[in-house]
Amino acid sequence: METSSAERRTPYPPVFWVANGIEVLERFAYYGIYFGFGIYMTELGYSRAELGIVQSIFLLLSYGIPVISGTFADRYGFKKVLIVSYLAYLPAILLLIFTKSFSGIALTMLSIGLAAGIFKPLIAGTVRAVTDKTNKTLGFGIFYAMVNVGGSFGPIVLGKLRAISWDYAFMAAAASIVVMLLITIFFYDEPPRETEGESLGKKMSEIWIALSDLKFTFLLILLGLFFWLPFWVFFNLCAVYVDTNLDTARLYQSIAGVLGTGFANFLSQVGEDGQRRILGETISHTGWIIMVLQVFVSRVAEKYKAMPVFLFGLFLIAVGFGVIGLASISAPAIIFLGIAIFAVGEMVSSPRIQEYITWIAPKEKAGQYMGMNFLAIMIGAALSGVTYTALSGHFNEMGRPDYVWYVLGVHAILAIIVFVLFTKFAGEFKERDE
């Protein structure tokens, strides 16, 4: 047992809730754009190989920049760096309205990736700075649930808007950034941390000091290749897979039969053939499961050590991949079961391993170590587009789009073996109590 569920938890300060509200809005804009992006490029006539290139360079910046921005936030303060990220975000999103060429789209998405990368470690760093051993697991669970509230409603709302015009979707994302800016200026109070007075050069040098721990660095590399790579392929591919490889008219009928036509209409549009079809990005995410179950799962997970919980989540992810693949060769509605299983695996594994990384760190280095965590994510995310998105295009041409999901399942099972061996031979890290 790691934390007694009966132990009294320290109350969360107001900035904890303000930060989580900001996270909802940012994920609304980010995932609202990203989940529909494969569909957007397909409608413009680009191949999955070209989509994969843009995905990889976008994710490279989104998850590479936090390695540095977390350190800047520790030095200059989270609030100032948050505002900088918004000022980079806003014009980049609006540029999507005006560019349609491959090079223009790639450069614009690079700009959005830069802004997102500046933002990414700041809210998690805030959560780390205002939690302690009594409330850390639940706190990160709440944070992860808020990520998925935004990540759920963003694709739904922007998906409906893009059915009218892609420009409306991009403008809605930009409006979300404006609201974030106002909330941060007026309501976000800098969390107390012992960081002032250290030079930027010293903070930057500490990145290399952290990476000089070969065991820690090796863990980051393994996480990148064996967890974050297949993890990100789900988000790269699922929306375009549903939209182009599944019978979305049958999906509409399935949803309407269970949840009613009103709800099904909310997730769909009338196609050129006059039939209502589910919009791929409205269902191809995990947020609709996670925002309901994450806090409950976190309360259960906090009773056990991090690594066994993480490995169990990986197993569920592998099963989810397999079921998603079956949806294209059997009943399309099976996609909901596959996404649900993957979602449970995600909510078990992802927040737990991120919490594990940040609690290796002293509190005053929370932003820096969260940056190191994003280095691991960067490795996997940056490789996901040029490997699996391109591979999915090959399998698509073969007429077997399901094959890519089975390969991903094998990848996740192999990951379990890799982490069991790592834990056996290298041992686990000691988490700090404060």
Residues of the chain with pLDDT > 70, as a percent, come to 90
Looking at domain 14-188+199-426, its CATH superfamily turns out to be MFS general substrate transporter like domains (1.20.1250.20)
Q: What is the pLDDT of residue 322?
A: 97
Contact 1, 303 (CB under 8 A): yes
Q: pLDDT tens, 296-311?
A: 887 787 787 778 889 9
Mean pLDDT of the chain: 86
Separation between Cα atoms, residue 234 and residue 317, nearest integer Å: 10
Phi/psi for 359 (5° steps) reads: -85, 0
Q: How many CA atoms lie within 13 A of 16 on its CB side?
A: 19
Contact 351, 146 (CB under 8 A): no
Residue 206 pLDDT class (50, 70, 90 cuts): low
68 pLDDT exceeds 80?
Answer: no
Q: What is the pLDDT of residue 52?
A: 92
Q: pLDDT tens, 79-89?
A: 999 999 999 99
264 contacts: CB under 8 Å, gap ≥ 6:
252, 255, 256, 276, 278
104 contacts: CB under 8 Å, gap ≥ 6:
none
Separation between Cα atoms, residue 107 and residue 58, nearest integer Å: 9
Contact 36, 164 (CB under 8 A): no
272 pLDDT exceeds 70?
Answer: yes
Instruction: Tell which residue, 159, 143, 158, 116, has the closest CA to residue 290.
Output: 143
71 pLDDT exceeds 90?
Answer: no
The more confidently predicted of residues 226 and 66 is 226
Residue 368 pLDDT class (50, 70, 90 cuts): low
Q: What is the pLDDT of residue 365?
A: 63
Contact 346, 388 (CB under 8 A): no
Q: What six digits make up the tokens of 232?
A: 């990100």
Q: pLDDT tens, 89-118?
A: 999 999 999 989 999 999 999 999 999 989
pLDDT winner (highest mean) among 57-71, 119-133, 383-397: 383-397
Q: What is the pLDDT of residue 342?
A: 96
Q: pLDDT tens, 24-38?
A: 999 999 999 998 898
Distance of CA 368 to the CA centre of its chain: 19
Element (H, E) at 404: helix 403-426
* Cα–Cα distance list, 26 to 33, 171, 190, 370 (Å): 11, 14, 19, 18
Q: What is the pLDDT of residue 72?
A: 79
Q: What is the pLDDT of residue 50?
A: 92
The more confidently predicted of residues 141 and 2 is 141
Separation between Cα atoms, residue 424 and residue 284, nearest integer Å: 36
Q: What is the pLDDT of residue 4?
A: 46
Q: pLDDT tens, 242-257?
A: 999 999 999 999 999 9
Q: What is the pLDDT of residue 5?
A: 45
* Cα–Cα distance list, 361 to 19, 122, 125, 369 (Å): 21, 15, 11, 6
In the three-class reduction of DSSP (H, G, I as helix; E, B as strand; rest coil), residue 213 is classed as: coil
Q: Where are the domains of the chain?
A: 14-188+199-426
Residues of the chain with pLDDT > 90, as a percent, come to 48
Q: pLDDT tens, 145-182?
A: 788 788 888 998 998 898 889 999 999 999 999 999 99
Residue 290 pLDDT class (50, 70, 90 cuts): confident
434 pLDDT exceeds 60?
Answer: no
Q: pLDDT tens, 344-367?
A: 998 888 877 877 776 666 666 665
